[in-house]
Amino acid sequence: HTIDKVEQTAEVAIEVVEKVAEAAEKIADDVSEAFPGNDNLKKAASRIKAVADEIEKDAEKAEALIEKVDEIEKEMDSVVDSVIEKVKKERSLRKNSVRGDDVNRKQK
């Protein structure tokens, strides 16, 4: 299923993005701690950390979106299956009703 492959690829990509963001945060913290007297480096590390935080939040939103799409897909499958079943039943009833009419006509 192509859709499943796309979804799996997106999920893996999101996980990678989250891990990279977490690593960037850790490095920023480590650099900031390693050079406490260097204000420029501390500011840069702080900005990196802020960007990494935003990336993590966006990745979480993307994961939530994928989950929501899965839910909607399941709901749509259920609705479509239900409609298909109703159509099949109606066709079956029509065929039986037409056959019954034919039998009644032949008996007359």
User: Which residue in this structure is represented by tokens 């989950």?
Assistant: 67
Q: Domain spans of the chain?
A: 2-107
d(CA 19, CA 13): 10
Which residues lie closer than 8 Å to 51 by C-beta, 6 or more apart? 24
Give the pLDDT of residue 42.
87
> For residue range 67-107, what is the model confidence (pLDDT) as tens digits?
998 899 899 999 999 999 999 999 888 888 776 665 555 55
* Average pLDDT value for the chain: 87
Q: Is residue 21 classed exposed, middle or buried when 0-12, 13-18 and 19+ CB atoms within 10 A define those classes?
A: buried
pTM, two decimals, is 0.65
> For residue range 55-78, what is the model confidence (pLDDT) as tens digits?
999 999 999 999 998 899 899 999
d(CA 88, CA 96): 12
d(CA 65, CA 61): 6
Give the pLDDT of residue 47.
92
